[in-house]
Structure 1
Amino acid sequence: MKKINFIYLLFAFATLQSCTGDLDVVAEDSKILSPEQLFSTPLGYKQALGGVYGNLSLTGTGDAGSSFLQGIDAGTSQFGRCMWYLQDLTTDEVVWTYENDEGTAELQRNTWTSANPILLGMFSRTMAEVALANDFLRQSTPELLTSRGITSTTDVAEINIYRNEVRVLRAFAYYNMMDLFGKAPFITENDPLNFKGPQYDRQQLFTFIETELNAVIPNLKAARTNEYGRLDKAMAQMILAKMYLNAQVYIGTPKYAECMAKCSDVIGGGYILKSNYLDNFKADNHTSSEMIFTLQSDGVKTQNYGATTVMINGQVGSVEGNGAEFGVGGWGGALRLRKQFVQKFDGAEFVTDVRKTYSSNSGSRPIDIATLTNAGQGYILHKFSNKTVAGVAGVNSGFVDTDFPLFRLADAYLMYAEAQMRKDGATNTNNATTANAQSLTYINALRQRANSGSASANVTQMQVNLDFIIDERARELHWEGHRRQDLIRFNKYGGGNYNWAWKGNIPNGTSFSSNLNVFPLPTASITANPNLTQNTGY
């Protein structure tokens, strides 16, 4: 059943926000229950679990414009949207037309400061996830379950499964803090409410996340056995695989063999490549056998300005007016592609590649974007849709039904190949062709899928070096929230090794300092917690 948790989300937000003191929150609903009322039954615990998951998709208990975080606009604090802005809008993949939208101009021009509201939104929303997780763990101890009369062996075992999932969600939150900000205030369920956590650096966060995930993975449900919307072993393994692939960046120590092992666990878990690539990005993508974990979206039950609503409405061209193609009204050309991404599909080998969905409106759109606010410049994308595989549009033309593919199997294939190549001697500064037979099998499985089953675009070992891998990641995973992280790992973000249109606020691109490889901590967050210090260069 799709989006099973959404029946509980608004209710859970209204209750949890009143008993979570790690962040300033505001009650938006008069129907607030005390913790004793909410947690008096096993059903209440599932409702509370829905709230922890729901924070990744929703912003508040009211309509799409509501936010339970004080002083932060819903549009700049929705987890998926903020994550997508930081990971993709700051790179060579995409531009945003409406630079009057607060924070967006600075992100896409790489001129952000600690006052950027989207950075505050991401920091606050992610730490809200930590707060919600901590509160759930405080309220679900064996002692409290017993005191509340919840003693059935079945009920206690189910709540313990919830606890393990919540620990993964908290680890995922800290993973994002480690990746984006390089540090975070560290708070667990053992700390009192309103506790101003000490600052943890990347090494400390890495150690905590790794330890936590390895502790809970044996007790999570096996891959593909949990109800849709809830995580399983594979989701936790994907976080670890991501950490290990980026360990050289995070902690200065390569962990490529560990990455390969986790990718193998994920690949062996039962997830299967969807035969049609584009079916992964449609309104019924919850049925895809490739999805490991998604940020859920529903045009009726969970209206919000999240990542897929932004992307699908933003895809609609200002000239084309092609909202009907995607089952939405559209936002008048909000999103366009940077030249360097489009060029990743240059060459005869990509003529039949279904991942090549961009268009130039029969050549009327210039590939170059001379003015960022000119919606008629730059190609547009057709990857995501608010229509089902059968072509049925979502019931709401403004808010989409399409879930955001946070982790999917294809990424595990490409991570395995990259980790294996790096383990066997490939580096960012050489052209080593070290892909082994297994890596080539994974790469070519994606290539064949992209070419409707044909092996015509398959590659050989001599064609695969790390430059190929990062370009293939762009072709396979564009607009899925991976690009900034990938560019940093390949030393193509900060510094002058690779420039793209409007990088560093120059039309043809220019280098920027490598200190921008992490974002600044928001000024308001440092003010609220004197234990936090600003990142170098800000």
Structure 2
Amino acid sequence: MKYRSMIFACGILFFIGCTGELDVLPEDPDTFLVEDFYTTPESYLQGLAGVYGNLSLTGAEGPDNSNISGLDAGTSQYGRGLWNTQELTTDEVLWSWENDPGTRELNRNIWSADNVILRGLFGRAMTQVAFSNEYLRQTSDDVLDSRGVDAGTKDAIVTYRAEVRFLRALAYYHMMDLFGKAGFITEEDPIGAFQSPEYNRAELFAFIESELMAIIPDLIAPMENDYGRVDKSGAWMLLAKLYLNAEVFIGENRYAGCIQYCEQIIGAGYELAPNYLHVFMADNHQGSARNEIIFPVLSDGVVTQNYGPTTLMINGQVGSVEQNGGDFGVGSGGWGGALRVTRQFSELMLNGTYDTDDRNTLIIGDRPIDLIPVNNNGTGYVIGKWSNINSDGSPASATEIVDTDFPMFRLADVYLMYAEAQLRGGGGSLATAVGYFNELRTRANNPNTISSSDLTLDLILEERLVELHWEGHRRQDLIRFNNYTSSYNWSWKGNAPNGIPISESRKLFPIPNASLSANPNLTQNEGY
């Protein structure tokens, strides 16, 4: 059963009152949790659900409500903000409706510190930190003892606290990756300490690493926790990603650490789903898809309603010309051709290597390949990767807002991370890396398997696009491979139809002006 029923438990109502600052910290404890809430053992699990809920939900009054003052639900949902920044800014996809606030600037790599999408993501990540800190305050040993909490409940809370510390580390990881810095605060700081000190990438890296190491012993074993809750493998995955990108983050080679944690995840019992597309369907929380997903962001057409990344992608991928939303379990017109792929994406899928590949879901029809102009939703090809239909063909619980969970971490990514870290000198086995690469192609019914002499970093970057497109990895990948700001161009990069190189400063997003105003200790990134 999905953890989504718990996500909507009454505990979340104490977490998602309206907050007025975009550098969000809990000024008033009643904004987040009240003392009277923690009266039963179940209440601590409900409070935990509230912290998880911030990944999916935006407010207590339904999917159209946001608990971050001044922002709507679409620009302040955690997964959607992450997806927008990692995808719209790259060679994978563009958003047609450039009159939607913030999207034109991301499409064209011309964002500023006033971009509303960046404001929303920074604020949502800081909200996650705030919720986590308050839960940790409410579950300290001293507080539990003062309430007379029994030993069995206290033992369970040890695991809950480890999960919350993971969620806080994840939020700081995303801020480190996207913004290069953050206001740093923990449960040890007083409530209302809005002017938190600024931590740079090196300081955030060290904190995230130490936190994950500290909590791993208290997390539940891989694949044994409730679906939607993190276990040891989720912490291993975040460590592996931390080390894979360490040269970007802190200028250090940590590929051996990436190999170590990839091996631990692979040895934990996860398996590739036999059908690639089942991982992206409405019932991906169960069956073979569940055995591939390491950590999801939940969505539900009835219970955990949100305008998050899967609702956006499934409605957005529907072609304006094709009116094919029924094929994906949403309205026939979807969101009017909102999402289309770039020429560069399409040319890779059509280069002959992926002709029979299940991961190639290009829908071409009579469309031109070029996205000119961007707001002409009949230009550019569309895809059919994501679906709001169950794997047996039955309908999901609702249309528009979808049941499909967003796989933030999954096994296929681990295979490609292992292969990349092996080629970059992290150890491991080349033969094993090739084997993992070929498993992905074989699973996708692609006969073009490779030998050890064929495996290169360029090929891995290509395969990451094919395997992981629209899953929120591409910006980070292009930066790690030095292809983001360089002469590798794509449609509308740098605000040019065929693309132009962009400033090195664009490897980081600016700190939102609203957050600078809220916390004078924050400083702006170079170039903004």
Q: TM-score, normalised by structure 1?
A: 0.94
C-alpha contact (below 8 Å) 1:26/1:70 kept by paired residues: no
Q: 1:43 aligns to what?
A: 42
Q: Unpaired segments of 5 or more residues in structure 1?
A: 426-433
* 1:413 maps to amino acid: Y
Quickly say closer, same or farther: Cα 1:215–1:12, change in 2 above 3 A: same
- Range with bigger deviation, 69-78 or 472-481: 69-78
Show CA shifts across 1:139-187 (max 9, x none): 0011111211212x22111111100000000000000000000000000
Shift, 1:34, TM fit: 6.0
Structure 2: unaligned runs, 5 residues or longer: none
Amino acid at match of 1:536: E
Q: How far 1:71 moved relative to its partner?
A: 1.5
> Are residues 1:519 and 2:509 paired?
yes
Q: Which amino acid aligns with 1:418?
A: E
Tell me the equivalent position of 1:492: 483
5 Å-filtered alignment, 1:1-12, equals 1-2=1-2, 4-9=3-8, 11-12=10-11
- For the pair 1:136 / 2:135, whether they are aligned, the reply is yes
Q: Separation in 1 of the partners of 2:141 and 2:346? A: 55
Q: Structure 1 residues 472-481 or 337-346, which shifts more?
A: 337-346
Name the CA distance, whole Å, in 2 between partners of 1:316 and 1:371: 18
- Letter of the aligned partner of 1:23 in structure 2? V
Mapped contact 2:343–2:491 kept (Cα < 8 A): yes
Q: Summarize deviations over 1:463-491 as a string: whole Å, max 9, x none.
A: 21111010000000000000000000000
Q: What is the rounded CA distance, in whole Å, between the counterparts of 1:7 and 1:299 in structure 2? A: 15
In structure 2, distance between residues paired with 1:166 and 1:397: 32
Instruction: Provide the identity percentage.
Output: 53
Partner of 1:333: 337
Report if aligned partners of 1:6, 1:50 keep a CA contact under 8 Å in 2: no
Contact 2:92 2:470 in 1 (8 A): yes
- Aligned equivalent of 1:192: 190
- Whether 1:532 and 2:522 are equivalent positions in the alignment is yes
Within 5 Å, which residues of 2 pair with 1:148-159?
148-151=147-150, 153-159=151-157
Q: Does the aligned pair in 2 maintain the 1:183–1:202 contact within 8 Å?
A: yes
Task: State the alpha-carbon separation in 1 of the partners of residues 16 and 415 from structure 2.
Answer: 39
Q: Distance in 2 between matches of 1:205 and 1:424?
A: 23
Q: 1:231 to 1:424 in 2, by over 3 A?
A: closer
What amino acid sits opposite 1:263 in the alignment? C
Q: Equivalent residue for 1:23?
A: 24
| 1:462 Cα offset (Å) | 2.1
8 Å CA contact retained: 2:254, 2:426:
no
CA–CA distance in structure 1, aligned partners of residues 429 and 148 of structure 2: 57
1:411 and 2:422 aligned: no
Q: Among residues 358, 363, 366, which one is paired with 1:359 in the alignment?
A: 363
Q: Distance in 1 between matches of 2:308 and 2:7?
A: 19
Q: Distance in 2 between matches of 1:82 and 1:244?
A: 24
Over residues 237-289 of structure 1, what are the superposed CA-to-partner deviations in whole Å (9 max), with x where a residue is unaligned? 11110110000000000101110001111111111110100000000001121
Which residue of the other structure, out of 310, 313, 316, is the alignment partner of 1:314? Answer: 316
Which residue number in structure 1 is paired with residue 52 of structure 2? 53
What CA distance in whole angstroms lies between the structure 1 residues aligned with 2:112 and 2:407? 29
Find out whether 1:118 has 2:120 as its counterpart: no
Residue among 451, 462, 475 paired with 2:453: 462
Quote how far apart the aligned CAs of 1:16 are: 2.7
Q: CA deviation at 1:194?
A: 1.5
Q: CA deviation at 1:5?
A: 4.3
Contact 2:274/2:443 (8 A) holds in 1: yes
| Cα distance in 2, alignment partners of residues 370 and 18 from structure 1 | 43
| 1:64–1:74 CA contact under 8 A, matched in 2 | yes
Q: Deviations over 1:279-336 (max 9, x none)?
A: 0000000112100001000000122110000000001100000010000011111100
Q: 1:33 to 1:527 in 2, by over 3 A?
A: closer
Change over 3 Å in CA distance of 1:32–1:412 after alignment to 2: closer
Aligned length: 519
**What is the DSSP-based 3-state SS (H/G/I as helix, E as strand, rest coil) of the residue aligned with 1:271?**
coil
Cα root mean square deviation, aligned: 1.9
Matched, 1:106 2:105: yes
1:428 matched residue in structure 2:
none
Q: Secondary structure at the match of 1:358?
A: coil
Displacement of 1:211:
0.4
Structure 1 residues 97 and 82 mapped into 2: Cα distance closer, same or farther (>3 Å)?
same
> Could you tell me how far apart the structure 2 residues matched to 1:33 and 1:134 are?
10
Equivalent in the alignment of 1:178: 176
Counterpart CA distance in 2 for 1:92 and 1:381 is: 14
* Distance in 1 between residues matched to 2:33 and 2:455, nearest whole Å: 58
Shift of 1:13: 3.0
Structure 2 partner of 1:431? none
Report the AA paired with residue 491 of structure 1: N
CA deviation digits over 1:426-450, x for unaligned, max 9?
A: xxxxxxxx97101001101101101
Contact kept, 8 Å, 2:259 with 2:426, in 1: the verdict is no
1:446 aligns with 2:440: yes
Amino acid at match of 2:184: F
C-alpha separation in 1, matches of 2:26 and 2:130: 11
| Separation (CA, whole Å) in 2 of partners of 1:471 and 1:235 | 25
Amino acid at match of 1:446: L
Which of residues 453, 462, 465 is equivalent to 1:471?
A: 462
User: Is 1:249 matched with 2:248?
Assistant: yes
In structure 2, C-alpha distance between the alignment counterparts of 1:260 and 1:424, rounded to whole Å: 6
Deviation at 1:382, TM superposition (A): 0.2
Name the CA shift for 1:268/1:424 in 2 (closer, same or farther; >3 Å). closer
C-alpha distance 26-146 of structure 1, shift in aligned 2 (>3 A): closer
Letter in 1 for 2:355: V
Matched letter for residue 92 of structure 2 = E
1:12 is displaced (CA, Å) by 2.4
CA distance in 1, matches of 2:340, 2:459: 24
Give the alignment partner of residue 391 of structure 2, picking from 389, 392, 396. Answer: 389
Q: Which TM-score applies when normalising by structure 2?
A: 0.95
Contact 1:183 1:200 in 2 (8 A): yes
1:115-134 per-position Cα deviation (integer Å, ceiling 9, x unaligned): 00000000000010000000
Q: Shift of residue 52 of structure 1?
A: 0.5
Aligned counterparts of 1:230 and 1:5: Cα–Cα separation in 2 = 10
Instruction: Say whether the 8 Å CA contact 1:90–1:108 is kept in structure 2.
Output: yes
CA contact (8 A) 2:17 2:60 kept: no
Counterpart of 1:266 in structure 2 is: 265
Give the equivalent residue in structure 2 for 1:211. Answer: 210
Do the aligned partners of 1:88 and 1:479 also contact (CA within 8 Å) in 2?
A: yes
Moved over 4 A (4+): 17-22, 24-27, 31-34
> Which AA in structure 2 matches 1:88?
E
Aligned to 2:74, what secondary structure does the other structure show? helix
Distance in 2, matches of 1:98 and 1:393, equals 28
